[in-house]
Structure 1
Amino acid sequence: MDALRQAQSGQEAPSRRERTPPEVLLIGGRSGAGKSSVGWEVAARLRAADVGHALVEGDVLDTVHPAPPDDPDRSRLTTRNLAALWANYAALGCRRLVYTNTAAVLGSEEWIFTEALGSPRLTRVLLTATDETAARRLTAREQGSELARQLRRSASMARHLETHVPVGTHRVPTDGRTVGEVALAVLRVTGWLPGAAGEGAP
């Protein structure tokens, strides 16, 4: 009946693709856990399998100074920028999003994706790393004045994430593993990669 009413009003019925909610893989974790590297590797493996997707680094959506006076934590800016990007990807038929950001896996961040993407299906993956592993990676990566701040923030966020991620969040350890091994473990929980569905995250 909905399709009939739309036809009578001159509107096209929504396609099945449009009715299907987008799927979002949220990859979070402390600084030094390997989120960006794993995100790119996940995208590379999906591309190799010809699985449609988009990749967004959450950090680039709010990198502006000073923060908007009415949006001090830049969350509204993040939401607007993500909505604009997703509108372009969705127009191309994209229904899967890989999103990397430290706090993206927290339940308090869910409203950003609901507002920007509608009612997406979220899969949360928390990458974990010991203090020693995170410090080694950050020391190799950070060459400027940010290292000390990143080390402090990484340790603090590790504790916060471990305590506050929602039930059902998949934890994937990264210590002593290659980027490829971690990416495959992440993909196993999504069911997006042919042959890896339902295997769980080791």
Structure 2
Amino acid sequence: MDQAEVLLIGGRAGVGKTTVGWEVSARLRDAQVAHAVIDGDFMGAVHPAPTGDAHRAGVTERNLVAVWGNYVALGYRRLVYTNTVSVLDEAAPMFRRAMGAGVRLVRVLLTATDETAEQRLAGRELGSELEHETRSSARNARLLEERAPVGVVRVVTDGRSVIDIASEVVAVTGWADMGVGGASATG
């Protein structure tokens, strides 16, 4: 397999992107599907936010180019990438620049009610960020609902196990259906 493929897992804060991303990775490992995982939230985590050509999105892209380049050099062609807005159309050009114009984008938007997201955030945010994260999560939920393009697969997470959600997400990719041929980094 020469074509790069990326599974983009997006969604509001508290929806379970990172947790689902790691469970997707576990399911792919079980199916012997070679892949890499990147939590996109860390790719631009700098303070203060850069300005000009080095703005935060530019830092994220530079880091994605560098990290993906390392993975490609090792033979990997599939990436699981989690980030709130990664499923939006405006994110696609970054992945095409970083991974090649022919990259196959598989976009999954995880969804949850306000109540579910708030409950999960309250369990996760043990410091001073809970109020900020809760407001930001609600705002991003509206933005994603309004702007997620046709073709983005929506997966409800309320009241479901991480294993169940990840199984649905893996099925969307079709990667596990490739059997042992997906076992090598290039296969």
Fold match by TM threshold 0.5 = yes
SS at 1:105's partner residue?
Answer: coil
SS at 2:108's partner residue?
Answer: strand
TM-score after normalising by structure 2: 0.92
Q: Say if 2:124 is the partner of 1:141.
A: yes
* 5+ residue gaps, structure 2: 180-187
Match of 1:117 in 2: 99
Q: 2:144 aligns with which of 132, 143, 161?
A: 161
Match of 1:176 in 2: 159
Match of 1:132 in 2: 115
Indicate the structure (1 or 2) with the bigger Cα radius of gyration: 1
What are the Cα deviations for residues 107-127 of structure 1, in whole angstroms up to 9, with x where unaligned?
Answer: 011111011111211010000
- Bigger RCO (CA 8 Å, 6+ sep): 2
Q: In structure 2, what residue type is equivalent to 1:141?
A: R
- Taking the aligned partners of 2:51 and 2:178, their CA distance within structure 1 comes to 49
- Taking the aligned partners of 2:147 and 2:11, their CA distance within structure 1 comes to 12
- In the comparison of the two structures, how many residue pairs are matched? 178
**1:71–1:77 Cα contact (<8 Å) kept:** no
Q: In structure 1, what residue type is equivalent to 2:24?
A: V
SS at 1:25's partner residue?
Answer: strand
Q: Say if 2:57 is the partner of 1:75.
A: yes
Provide the aligned C-alpha RMSD in A: 1.4
**1:28–1:35 Cα contact (<8 Å) kept:** yes
Give runs of ≥4 in structure 1 deviating > 4 Å. none
Match of 1:96 in 2: 78
* 5+ residue gaps, structure 1: 1-16, 197-202
What are the Cα deviations for residues 38-90 of structure 1, in whole angstroms up to 9, with x where unaligned?
Answer: 00000011111110000000011111111222147511111110000001100
Match of 2:40 in 1: 58
**1:75–1:112 Cα contact (<8 Å) kept:** no
